[in-house]
Amino acid sequence: MFENLTARLSRVLDSLRGQGRLTEDQIDTAARELRMALLEADVALPVVKDFIEHVRQRALGAEITQSLTPGQEFLRIVQQALTETLGSRPEPLNLRQQPPAIILMAGLQGSGKTTTTAKLARLLKEQEKKKVMVVSCDVYRPAAIEQLRIVAGQVGVEVFPSAVGQDPVTIAQNALAEARRQYVDVLIVDTAGRTTVDEAMMKEIAALHAALDPVETLFVVDSMTGQDAAKTARAFADVLPLTGVVLTKIDGDARGGAALSVRQVTGKPIKFIGTGEKTDRLEVFHPDRIAARILGQGDVLGLIEEAVRKVDHEKAARFAEKLKKTKSFDLEDFREQMLQMQKMGSMASLLEKLPGGAQIQAQLQHIDADKQVRRTIAIINSMTIQERRHPDLIKASRKRRIAAGSGVEVQEVNRLLRQFETTREMMKKVASGGMAKLMRSMAGRLPPGILPRR
């Protein structure tokens, strides 16, 4: 999502690196470039003005003009300003009340409310160990009611039934009574939306809020709508006492403006971001980490947390033990690493969290990395167990059979085997304790500028 903004800000900051001192003219030039970068990212104009003035005033202070590394100091100031604009710190859900805690989901049609309802239910169930019930009060679209029933079934939470033509307030009150009867911890209420803000929708959701008195009222907004997201957020905030925002579709090709605009326009924290279509693709919003990602510094902590949640630790431990004892790495191990990688999401989302990931993505923009991973797994699946364990057996006739079985050309099989050999050599170095040697060899193979500067 932040690729364009990251690229533009990186050019601004690169122009200041290596400067012994920064003059006022240089700071003004950098501020203008920052302004253009933010406007291109579709950040709301009032937010841009406040942000640029904040950065400029701090940059003109003695702390940067007297710094020995003014380029780094300017980067620190920009990162601080971004973090403050995004909210400074993560804001958890407030569920500290007598169960069931009620969460009301508000937003326009197509913003991703129903999918987000299921994602949030899964997160609360798996990470917070809560008993969750969901209900749809969208009595105008049968598809919305059915969609919630299906996705709630996928994540394993209770669904209170509703139907077209029923009164939304009555549905919500009956769902609350049932949630109390079943000793549910959290009731999530999905509401109706429209394609645009209108009086009827606002009256209905205000009535639902009055009837339920939810502990959390979350505004769900499509991050790809840019400045319009800020306008819609303001309209909802005028009618509802919002407690937080959920940004959806952050993995799309949005320019990043919504994330920087909504927080300041509503005065409410961004609590979650949706990073993909699957029900496990909902992340707690960490302003400092997002600011680091925008500036191309990655989010290594986020990557580690994702690995802890999604990687099979027993398999990982067995693999590490095998590597340590036998120093061997075969195609079955290679396939297992690919499968574990798939569990963590798309390659684009993984790269975005690595320092320097934006540069890697730029160089790989014409390559569908996720498709390559799927193809690699298909090729290995077409091999016999003996071939996977002893790759040296794979000669011309076997390559033709494997290629036919996986629906690829023989050249693809050859490419996979070369990639495997490179990975096997790296694994041998890791097994021998030569991590420093491995990093030096990797640096020699990567394009210039890929590894982050020290």
- Residues making up the annotated binding site for GTP are 107-114, 190-194, 248-251
Closest residue by Cα to residue 256 from 226, 233, 283? 226
Phi and psi at residue 213, to the nearest 5° = 50, 60
Residues 334 and 426: their CA atoms lie apart, in Å, by: 12
Specify binding-site residues.
107-114, 190-194, 248-251
Where are the alpha helices (H) located in 188-312, listed in sequence order?
A: 199-212, 227-239, 257-266, 287-294, 300-310
The residues near 62 (Cβ < 8 Å, ≥ 6 apart) are: none
- Cα 379 to Cα 30, 37, 413, 415, distances in angstroms: 50, 43, 7, 11
Separation in Å, CA 417 to CA 127, 389, 414 = 39, 13, 5
Whole-number Å distance between alpha carbons of 283 and 223 = 14
Other CB atoms closer than 10 Å to residue 145's CB: what's the count? 24
Give the CA count within 13 Å in the CB-facing half-sphere of 44: 23
DSSP 8-state secondary structure symbol assigned to residue 452: P
Q: Which of 287, 277, 276 is nearest to 84 (CA)?
A: 287
- Residue 54: partners with Cβ closer than 8 Å, 6 or more residues away: 81, 84
